[in-house]
């Protein structure tokens, strides 16, 4: 296996035995060398160890506020549009509807910022 670069081990814990509880022993993540180098460079630029930087990234991704464990994050790839919604799989009809909404917003001026701001300030609170 000449020319193969060993992956970077993010933590130095011994491998978990089947009888061990993952919560007690942690988790070892292995990444390829190219990603490891990018991770090292970003960690260094942030003034953190590779481990601390990787944990920060994982925590921000796994524990975003307002997202339950079984939910997908809002910034992931959008789900496919189910059939029976009026558009089916017709991309052109969907694009036309989006264009119609955008044109209406341009014509009416959309929602005033003051209303948006007021709503954002009360977001999550009972009305």
What would the DSSP string read from start to end of 59-84?
HHHHS-TT--TTSPPTTSPPPPPPTT
From 60, 87, 89, select the one nearest 75 (Cα to Cα): 60
User: What pLDDT, on the 0 to 100 scale, is given for residue 19?
Assistant: 44
Query: 21: pLDDT confidence band, cut at 50, 70 and 90?
Result: very low
pTM: 0.37
Query: 112: pLDDT confidence band, cut at 50, 70 and 90?
Result: confident
Question: Residue 29 carries which DSSP code?
Answer: -
For 64, list phi and psi in degrees, rounded to 5: -70, 145
């Amino acid at each position: 296996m000449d020319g193969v670069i060993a992956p970077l081990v993010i933590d130095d814990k011994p491998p978990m035995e089947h009888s061990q509880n993952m919560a007690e022993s942690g988790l070892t993540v292995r990444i390829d060398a190219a990603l490891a180098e990018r991770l090292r460079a970003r960690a260094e630029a942030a003034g953190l160890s590779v481990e601390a930087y990787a944990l920060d990234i994982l925590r921000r991704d796994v524990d975003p506020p307002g997202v339950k464990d079984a939910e997908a994050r809002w910034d992931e790839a959008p789900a496919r549009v189910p059939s029976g919604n009026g558009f089916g799989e017709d991309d052109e009809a969907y694009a036309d509807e989006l264009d119609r909404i955008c044109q209406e917003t341009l014509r009416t001026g959309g929602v005033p910022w003051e209303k948006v701001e007021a709503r954002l300030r009360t977001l999550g609170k009972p009305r």
